[in-house]
Amino acid sequence: MAHGAGGKASRRLIEGLFAPLLIGSSAQSLGDAAHLDFNGIKIAITTDSFVVKPLTFPGGSIGELAVNGTVNDLAVSGARAEAMVVTFVLEAGLPTPVLEAEVRAMGSAARDARVAIAGGDTKVVEHGKADSMYITTTGIGRPIQGLKIDPRSVRPGDKILLSGPIGDHGITILLARGELDLEADLHSDTRSVLPLVEALAHQAGPGVRWMRDPTRGGVATSLNELARDCGLGIVVMEEMIPVRDAVRGACELLGLDPLHIANEGQFLAVIAPEYADAALNALNSAPGGQDTQIIGEVREQPSGAVLVTTRYGGSRIVDMLVGDPLPRIC
């Protein structure tokens, strides 16, 4: 199934099956977390499952991803993670030290993000039925004051911000699998983006219209979802998108587009033009936000699509990822 790779197939599965049968027909914008109101008490809730091979890789591991991923999904929906519960699916025979290392990694990431781990569940499945371990985290959070995320509020002229270099996580994982005779000094970008989102909310909150963390399917998929949800065109300048040389080199060699590669520690934001400078300054002066760039803007056209322009005057439409990115050789 291509449905897990975060691109078109995932979207079709959600829109065609899950949303109509489980949520009702009105799931017009599928955000990273749901915001609920119980008689005036507002909470945000999200859940995410983590399946990664290898379990540890330069810059992080599955345990750390499982905490940061859920913290980030809440953050880009405009909420601060407060607590989470954890489910482990373990393959029989998994060495205890491996499990312990991941539990420690989770604890450390949770402390850094100041989120409480409030409970959990463990299931053990037969040997060979799971790739060592799967982790699911479900987080609840409180809305961040002054932020309102809604793709329908996006207007032509709005600016698109990207918090830092893209593709580090996806390429790191690809190389860590050891199937390619390629080496690079590269590590996953896994981190909590909450401090950056809070800095943004503080300095430019009223101007923030939309946010998303471009995980599986990469920046191209997130921006295509935005284009579809707001019905406008997203125009991005390729030369403004920060990409490390190691990522660019690997992508050139393998025929991949960095815009389709997964990230675990970056986010995209659409900012009203009058707040663009304040937003950029807020992120540039926050720790870990120095590489933030305005990479493009919202236009009337091409409606519902993402257009990438190049330095030398050419342009191309960039679609969502179809299935997993596969290297081209021949």
Residues of the shown chain interacting with other proteins in the complex, contacts defined by CB under 8 A: 1-2, 8-9, 159, 179-181, 233, 235-237, 240, 245, 248-249, 252, 255, 257, 294, 296-297, 299-303, 305, 307, 309-319, 322-323, 326-330
Comparison of 100 and 252: residue with beta carbon closer to other proteins = 252
Query: At closest approach, how far in Å is the CB of 83 from other proteins?
Result: 37
Query: At closest approach, how far in Å is the CB of 325 from other proteins?
Result: 9
Comparison of 1 and 22: residue with beta carbon closer to other proteins = 1
Comparison of 145 and 303: residue with beta carbon closer to other proteins = 303
Angle value at C-alpha 163, between 162 and 164, nearest 5 degrees: 100
DSSP for 24-54 reads -TT--S--SSEEEEETTEEEEEEEEEE--SS
Query: At closest approach, how far in Å is the CB of 294 from other proteins?
Result: 5
Let me know: does 139 contact 49? Beta carbons within 8 Å.
no
211's tokens: 């946010």
The burial class, CB within 10 Å (0-12 / 13-18 / 19+), for 218 is buried
Query: At closest approach, how far in Å is the CB of 322 from other proteins?
Result: 5
Alpha-carbon distance of 216 to 269, in angstroms, equals 17
Which region, left, alpha or beta, applies to residue 6 given φ > 0 means left and ψ of -120 to 50 means alpha? left
Comparison of 144 and 262: residue with beta carbon closer to other proteins = 262
Task: Specify the pairing of strand 41-50 against strand 208-212.
Answer: unpaired
Q: Spell out the alpha helix ranges (H) of 114-244.
A: 168-176, 194-204, 218-230
Query: At closest approach, how far in Å is the CB of 162 from other proteins?
Result: 12
Comparison of 150 and 300: residue with beta carbon closer to other proteins = 300
